[in-house]
Amino acid sequence: MTSYYDRARGSVAIGGSLGSGDKTKMAASRLFQKSLRDMITGIRAHKDGQREFINKCLVDVRTEVQSSDVRTKAVAIEKATYLHSLGHSMHWASFHVVELMSTQNVKYKRVGYLAASQSFGDDTDVVLLIPNLLKKDLASPNPAEAALALTCLGNIVTPELSQTLVADVYSLLNNHKPDLRRRACLCLYKCFLRYPEALRPSFTRLTECLDDDDQSVVQAAVTVLSELAMHNPKTYLPLAPKFYKLLTSSSSNWMTIKLVKVFGALAPLEPRLAKKLAGPISEILETTSAKSLMYECVRTAVMGMTSQEKVIRQAVDKLKDMLEDHDPNIKFLALHALTYLLDSHPRIVAEHKGNIFECLDHEDSNIQYCALKIVCGLVTKRTLIDTTSVLMNCMGKADQRFRDELVSSVIRICMNERYALVTDFVWYLSVLADLIRVPCSSHGALIGEQIIDVCLRVEVIREAAVGILAPLLLDVSLLEPSNVNKTVPSALKAVAWVVGEYAHHIVDHEEILDALLNPAVKQLPGDAQAVYVQAIFKVYASAVLNYSRGIRPTGAVGALPAPEPLIDISVDDDTAAASGAARDGAGVTPGTLVPESEDLIELRDKVSRRIEPLTTSFNLEVRERSCQLQKMLGIVGAAERSEPGSGIAIIEAFATVMSDEIQPVSVKAQRKIEVPAELLDDEPMSAEWDYLLVSSDEEEDDEYASRKGKKKGKKSKSKDKMSKDLREVAEIFGAKKTKEQVAREERESREMLAKHKEKMGQYYLEGETGADKEKKKGPPKSLPGPESAAMLALEARLASHAVGQTERPAIKGESDSESEEEEQVIAVKKGKSYDPKNASSRLHGELEAYNPLKPLERNEHLPTVEAYPRFDPYSQDEAAFNAFAPSGGDARSHHKDKKDKKKRDKKKKDKGAGGEDGESKEKKPKKEKGAGEKKSGGTKKKSGEKKTVDVDALAQSLMDAKV
């Protein structure tokens, strides 16, 4: 039974047994078959119905690929490969591709290998059929076939193929053809990624290729080693001398670029290497005209040669020219290189601040983001205000995504390191107020958090904060529910809280109340409405308090008779005497009531009337607060009608309570509070806890039995029995044990554990030593105090950098230790991105475990494969066709001599047999002669089939042989 490869190689010979009708059909199919050029022309011509035309072409290709004619099959595979590049899968043609790969003619073999390179992958089933085919082609004396096999293997390599064929590829490093040596180097790199065990045995020979006579082989070796070194530079640091020698003697820009990239990864690991490279890099920067090579030198200088000031200056001058280039790609590369100098040489980067600011308005978004990153890194105390104004001016021209990034950058710059760069917080509040009005912003919540944080920490700006933020409440356009104001409610919630909390700084209370009671407030989210309701009461109480202060003498605040406290607060005699003396000294008479004015009555009625719609809100918090406020105002009105001034006294009492300042508290402040000794959190809440649990179970069982007893008598009995058993178990395990019983059980368990450890000690992990336990039992380390050395140094640095006449105000919580701040982990949302199955980072990560520079261990060598096989892979074929073999070679003459020898042996044999019978002497030679002619004709026929692959020539040769 013939194998698959024999059938594939004999596909050309099938035409010999075809009849005249089959030949005519084959010729007709070739005649009417569309070529690849015709199909491409048709696709471009059918712009409207392109999908239908491609589907028709696919149907034709599926039919043509099943043809026994190798030429028809090759054209069909060509068309399928082109359609595969357009997105139409050709997995259905994988077997036919393998058939084409196994043909004798290099012309059709090339088509098969190209299709395999384009369409084969790890999940292709027929990959299991090609290892022997690739092995045979790799060992072929025809360099074209070996080159095709190397190229294909590099594209479709799998772990199994790499393990099987890496030795054959390695043997080609000794080939006399430079092209094959170059291809073998590049193919080995792909084999290393899928089969890392092959790296160490073949690394020595790979490094020897750096000294090859042919420059293309040297470039291939440099390419492979540079790719390996870029992902694991520490391992390949000993190769730096060889790379440096090639760098100083190379005349190829491509190889120089690879070497410079390698040194860019190696220089940070070896400080002395930067000094050694200063001369060659500087020379290349001065002499080269290739922008690609120049950029790689600049990138290497800014990444690993920051200690060489001269080279850095030279590189930045080149970057300046690149920034002024009109090509956006070059401009982006220049900005990307400048980001590496932000930490080491910010002043040199700041010299080109004008060009960087211009890039913020560039039409390319990548350039904008890179320029913004540099601008944020260059901000100082002196340049904060100017830089912020530039960024805010760019918001009007930017698109939605970049505008959000600008808003986030402004806030991040100012809040960084606890507002280390901000000296004027009134200016910062005005910036935050302007950022609220930025359309379609997605940082409303962040802006609100900053407003509250600044107002809580900096006391001196609270009055200015109310004046800056109050106009935002008056702006009705911010209350409109639209995409422009999608995050404004989160900021308005913070604004309303600040205005209500510091309402004593409000100038016109009625105007603010009208803004808070606007009917459009009902369109805000529930959490914002709740804060608005709370702020309404605070502003109203502040208005009443200001009115009473204006009527009473100075210092009379708090002298009114307070209502009876809900909780008894004990005050010592000294404190009571001191407070009484203070009131007497102020000259205030206790119990003085101030009647409510007409304006306050109208204001109270307005608040009560406009708060009515919120009392039916679906949000429970809003409904509860609005109902409480309406009820409170009703109580005030009733008290005022019964006794003038008593309603004002109630509001004053509330205002006094709400006047207490809210202090910022660290998130981890709870750690400083010691647990009281009398608090026993391990003790049960009740001494009869077990009894209560059992009794509750009994009650449930009794209730269930009484409810279901009549309908399910039998089941209730079984339920009672089960509950009784459960109660018995609960009594057994819930019974309170004495100390002696507990001690005895603990002793028995320790003894059982010790015996088990003696018996099965090898399965136990080593425990902690006594010293370790003593260390752990020690007192916990206390948190650093507010006057830590780190914070004192920070305050000294901030004081030394103070700029301007205005002093930086004190910030509450600034002296706290940074260790007390809870680290907020912001989860970055990852969008949908292309995640390849064989990612380069993952494949190179597997190579890190193999150090190629260490000596080889036993059984770590590759299997030996002869680079130049002594056997001819086509020796079984009597007349194998070789497209690149010269005519009349030694192999053909040797084959001819062998045939002649066989003929001479046959003649001698015939002569010896003819002496026995004279009659058969004359007839037998005729018969044998005819048989010989027939045999030779068959031989001619067979050789003719394999010497040509062209079907027309094949048919003609067959007809001649028949005649």
pLDDT band, very low/low/confident/very high, at 855 (cuts 50, 70, 90): confident
What does the pLDDT read at residue 885?
40
Instruction: Tell me the average pLDDT across 56-77.
Output: 91
Instruction: Tell me the average pLDDT across 618-644.
Output: 91
Q: How far apart are CA 166 and CA 184, in angstroms?
A: 10
What does the pLDDT read at residue 183?
95
What does the pLDDT read at residue 861?
64
What does the pLDDT read at residue 496?
95
pLDDT tens, 539-575?
A: 999 998 888 877 765 444 433 343 333 333 343 444 4
pTM greater than 0.85 (yes/no)? no
Q: Both tokens of residue 511?
A: 């105007």
User: Among residues 391, 428, 387, which one has the least CA distance to residue 408?
Assistant: 391
Q: Does the structure show a pLDDT above 50 at 390?
A: yes
Q: How far apart are CA 953 and CA 958, in angstroms?
A: 9
pLDDT tens, 522-543?
A: 999 999 999 999 999 999 999 9
What is the residue extent of each domain of the chain?
508-553+591-661
Instruction: Tell me the average pLDDT across 136-149.
Output: 93
Cα distances from 724 to residues 696, 709, 727, 736, in angstroms, run 13, 16, 5, 20
Q: Both tokens of residue 324?
A: 């002024």
Q: Does the structure show a pLDDT above 50 at 883?
A: no
pLDDT tens, 218-277?
A: 999 999 999 998 888 888 899 999 999 999 998 889 999 999 999 999 998 888 898 999
Burial (CB count within 10 angstroms: exposed 0-12, middle 13-18, buried 19+), residue 473: buried
Q: At a CB cut-off of 8 Å and minimum separation 6, what does 654 contact?
A: 537, 541
The secondary structure element, H or E, covering residue 798 is helix 789-800
What does the pLDDT read at residue 656?
81
Q: How far apart are CA 939 and CA 935, in angstroms?
A: 6
What does the pLDDT read at residue 191?
92
Best-predicted range by mean pLDDT (379-383, 729-733, 802-806): 379-383
Q: Does the structure show a pLDDT above 60 at 588?
A: no
Q: How far apart are CA 421 and CA 385, in angstroms?
A: 10
Residue 427 carries which side chain, given as an amino acid letter? Answer: W
pLDDT tens, 417-450?
A: 889 999 999 999 999 999 999 999 999 999 999 9
Cα distances from 578 to residues 34, 575, 653, in angstroms, run 110, 5, 21
Burial (CB count within 10 angstroms: exposed 0-12, middle 13-18, buried 19+), residue 357: middle
Chain-centroid distance, C-alpha 190: 25
Angle at 667 between CA 661 and CA 668, to 5 degrees: 125
pLDDT band, very low/low/confident/very high, at 791 (cuts 50, 70, 90): very low
Q: At a CB cut-off of 8 Å and minimum separation 6, what does 109 contact?
A: 100, 101, 102, 103, 145, 148
What is the distance between the terminal CA atoms of the chain, rounded to a whole angstrom?
31
Burial (CB count within 10 angstroms: exposed 0-12, middle 13-18, buried 19+), residue 172: buried
Q: Does the structure show a pLDDT above 50 at 160?
A: yes
Quick count: other Cβ atoms within 10 Å of Cβ 825? 6
pLDDT band, very low/low/confident/very high, at 669 (cuts 50, 70, 90): confident
Q: Does the structure show a pLDDT above 50 at 939?
A: no
CB 229 within 8 A of CB 270: no
Q: Does the structure show a pLDDT above 80 at 174?
A: yes
Best-predicted range by mean pLDDT (8-17, 534-543, 548-557, 761-770): 534-543
- Higher-confidence residue of 378 and 702: namely 378
- Higher-confidence residue of 352 and 910: namely 352
CB 922 within 8 A of CB 902: no
363 — phi, psi (to 5°)? -75, -20
pLDDT band, very low/low/confident/very high, at 868 (cuts 50, 70, 90): very low
Q: How far apart are CA 151 and CA 147, in angstroms?
A: 6
Weakest mean pLDDT among 197-211, 765-779, 896-910: 765-779
Count of helices and strands (H, E) across the chain = 43, 0
What does the pLDDT read at residue 678?
79
What does the pLDDT read at residue 96?
93
- Higher-confidence residue of 226 and 656: namely 226
Q: How far apart are CA 136 and CA 142, in angstroms?
A: 11
Q: Does the structure show a pLDDT above 80 at 844?
A: no
CB 266 within 8 A of CB 304: yes
Q: Does the structure show a pLDDT above 60 at 924?
A: no
Q: Does the structure show a pLDDT above 60 at 134?
A: yes
pLDDT band, very low/low/confident/very high, at 380 (cuts 50, 70, 90): very high
What does the pLDDT read at residue 835?
54
What does the pLDDT read at residue 208?
92
Q: At a CB cut-off of 8 Å and minimum separation 6, what does 639 contact?
A: 646, 647, 650
What does the pLDDT read at residue 631?
92
Q: How far apart are CA 299 and CA 450, in angstroms?
A: 38
Q: At a CB cut-off of 8 Å and minimum separation 6, what does 928 contact?
A: 910
Across the chain, mean pLDDT equals 76
Q: Both tokens of residue 634?
A: 């009703």
What does the pLDDT read at residue 741?
76
Q: Both tokens of residue 265?
A: 């990864």
User: Among residues 442, 440, 435, which one has the least CA distance to residue 469?
Assistant: 435
Q: How far apart are CA 225 and CA 303, in angstroms?
A: 20
Reduced to 3 states (helix: H, G, I; strand: E, B; else coil), residue 617 is coil
Q: What is the dihedral of CA 396, 400, 406, 411, to 10 degrees?
A: 110
User: Among residues 961, 907, 946, which one has the least CA distance to residue 929?
Assistant: 907
Q: Could you write out the DSSP letters of every residue in 549-586? A: HHHSPTT-TT-SPPPPPSS-----HHHHHHHHHHHHHH
Instruction: Tell me the average pLDDT across 77-86.
Output: 93
Q: At a CB cut-off of 8 Å and minimum separation 6, what does 400 contact?
A: 440
What does the pLDDT read at residue 8?
39
What does the pLDDT read at residue 468?
94
Q: Does the structure show a pLDDT above 70 at 586?
A: no
Q: Does the structure show a pLDDT above 90 at 579?
A: no
